[in-house]
Structure formats: C-alpha cells, structure tokens
Amino acid sequence: MTASFPHLSEVLKILDGALKSNASMSTNYAGLLADKLEQDGQREQAMRIRERLARAPNAIAHTQDASRLSNSLPVDSESRLYTVDVSKPAKGAVLLKLSSGTMNRISEFLESVIHYDKLQALDAAMPLRLMLYGPPGTGKTQTIKWIAGELSLPLITVRCDTLIGSLLGQTSKNLRRVFEYASETPCVLFLDEFDALANARGNERDIGELQRVVISLLQNIDALEKNIVLVAASNHEQLLDRAIWRRFPFQVPLFLPDLALRTDLWKLMLGDVEIKGLDLNELAKKSEGLSGALIEQVAIDARRHAILGGTQGIDPTEIYRRLGIALALNLGKNLNDVKDEIQWLRKWDAKIFSIRELSRLYKISTRQITHLIEDKHG
C-alpha cells in the first residue's frame, strides 16, 4: 500500500534499469530515492543506498549530479551538437511572482508530482504533463525553473535549434533519443518554444516531414511513463496541433500581469533601494500592458543607472523615463534619438515630464527642450 511504500515509482525505475541492463538508469533513480528518503527523515536508509552507489564505477556513481550528466546527453548525429541543455535550479533560488489563481494551478500540478504514488494507488493520478502558454515575458520559463527547483530535479531543456535536423527523418530520431534519455534520468523535461515542434497539421504550407515530426512527438509523449514530468511552453498556442492538447491534462495560461501583480512585481524588482517620492501603485497603473519580464528589465536598468551614477537612491522620474521608453518600444514606436524620446515622454505624461524635469534628466537647457518639443518635423 502507498502509506507503507511511498516511493514505489523510484523502486520500479531502479528495477526497470536492472532488467534492461541499464546501470545508469538504476543508479540515477537510486540516487533520487536516497534524496527522497533523506527528505523524509530516513537518513540511515538514504546513507545505506549511497554507500552501495559509492561502490559503483565513478562513471555512473554520480550520474544524478547535473554537472556530470553531459557525458550521456543526446546529440544530433548530423551536427554532433547536444539537443538538450541541463541545469539544476536550487530550491528557493528562483523568484516566482504570479497571480494567486495561476499560482494555485501551478501548486496543484506540483502536489500531483510529489504525491503521484499516493494518487496512483487510489486510481486518481493523471499523467504529469503541464502546458504553459501565453504572451512572451509572462513567466513561463521562470515557472518551469521554479518547479524543477522545488522538486530538486535537473531541468532538461530541449534545444529546438539543434533538435530540428535538415536530413529527412533526423528530427524524429532526435526526439526519440531525447525522450529515451528523459526516461532513464530523474528530471523535468522541458519542451520550450513548443509550437516549433507541435505546429498544427493540415497547414497548406506544411510538408510531409513536418507532419511526421508531429506524429513522432505524439508517439513519444504517449510512450513516456505517466510519472515522468514533462512540461511545455508556447507563446503561440493557437498554432499547436489539437491532438497535442489532449496529451497535457494540466494546462495553465499565463497572462500579462494585472494591477495587483504589477505592484508586487515592482516591489520585488526594485528591492530595498531608496526611492523618495515614488508611488508604486501609480507606477503599476502607468505600466499597464507590460510583461513581468519588461518590468524586471526597467527596474534593473534604473538600479544600474543609479549605481553607475554614484547616487544613493533611484531617481523616480528616471524610472518613469525608462518605463515610458519601454512602453513606446512595446507599442512598436521608433525612438531614434533624444528628440523622439522627449516628444514621446511629453506626450505620454506632461505632468511627470515637465520642461524643467526633462531639462534635468537630459542635461540640456529648458530652451532646447522647448525647441525639441515644438519641432515636429525637424
């Protein structure tokens, strides 16, 4: 019963590796089992497993360590480049700020992973497949890094640039190698830019090879054991093949941050830096339409500007200046020179960007500022 055997998944994986004469697979999951036992407070049992692993050859004794996984990473036979990247996010090291509703859905997925054996014993487990989708910069990659950190598992990120081969059938072979690798290694398998692989079939511009890639992808997902964590992220979910969606029981959209989340993001990104006279709620209102990634970039730029300028705190108008420029670029406006910037900022908010403030920020006279504002065609 699950209550007396909470780590059945790892034991079965160790057995699978032994039956397949796959020592790497067995030691990978034995190491994961030892980690989980130690987390449960069963240090003696964990130590006994690690003592057995220490007797194994050095080449496989530490295969769970992400820094040593590169020896066996799948490669593209044409280019000889790795088709995945490996990282090991530390628990608590990834800052994640999402709306409460989104965070609840992510936490539900995490709990389903942690308690998979218990759910499986009660016939209530779903395949551990998570799809994140939404506009760029909304936190998809950050969320997946956070999940890997919370699970203390290596993050295996598929590299679409090398996975998609030029030779007929090469992409399907690369996919198979990646999924086989994920089956043998405790990890979170991450399919980034998923629409590049799972583009909808039936497109008039599609060729037979692309359709075969989607079929191969579906087959590999179906063959993957249900307790292996697979996550995918897409900025263009409307392009995904309809059959792909059925393979992901956990589907979480990530939207541009609302007012409350933008306020929290500004607080988080600006940190403890002194900013006299800055109203974060007003700043959040003015940053409507920006992604969390852009808010982070504006905050970092403002902090860097203060540090390099030798000032003790951040100039609040400088934050608004950088925010205004970010919004303009986000809207597709071309700000080619100082005049374009000044005219845009003045149009965006004449109260914040008075002639005197613009003069101070750009270190030019008020007369020149007035001339630049009035010069619409020069």
SS3 state at 344: helix
Q: Does 67 score more than 50 pLDDT?
A: no
Closest CA to 240 of 204, 209, 203: 203
Per-residue pLDDT of 34-59, as tens digits, reads 777 777 777 777 677 776 667 665 54
What is the reported pLDDT for 201? Answer: 55
> If residue 155 lies in a helix (H) or strand (E), which one and from where to where?
strand 155-158
Q: Does 170 score more than 70 pLDDT?
A: yes
Q: Does 203 score more than 80 pLDDT?
A: no
Per-residue pLDDT of 11-25, as tens digits, reads 776 777 666 666 666
Q: Mean pLDDT over residues 174-183, rounded?
A: 90
Q: Compute the distance between CA of residue 234 and CA of residue 239 in angstroms, rounded to an integer.
A: 9
Closest CA to 184 of 214, 156, 219, 164: 156
What is the reported pLDDT for 21? Answer: 62
Which amino acid appears at position 154 of this protein? P
Which domains, ranges and CATH numbers included, belong to the chain? 1-64 (no CATH), 69-253 (3.40.50.300), 259-374 (1.10.8.60)
| Residues in Cβ contact with 263 at an 8 Å cutoff, skipping those fewer than 6 apart | 280, 281, 283, 284
What is the reported pLDDT for 310? Answer: 79
Q: Does 9 score more than 70 pLDDT?
A: yes
Give the lowest-confidence range in 62-76, 169-183, 218-232. Answer: 62-76
DSSP state of 41: T
Instruction: Write out the DSSP string of 195-254.
Output: GGTSBPTT-TT--HHHHHHHHHHHHHHHHS-TTSEEEEEES-GGGB-HHHHTT-SEEEE-
Q: Count of CB atoms within 10 A of residue 211's CB?
A: 16
What is the reported pLDDT for 70? Answer: 46
Q: What is the pTM of this model?
A: 0.78
Strand partners, 85: 157
Closest CA to 248 of 225, 228, 224, 230: 230
Q: Mean pLDDT over residues 314-324, rounded?
A: 93
Q: Mean pLDDT over residues 136-150, rounded?
A: 95
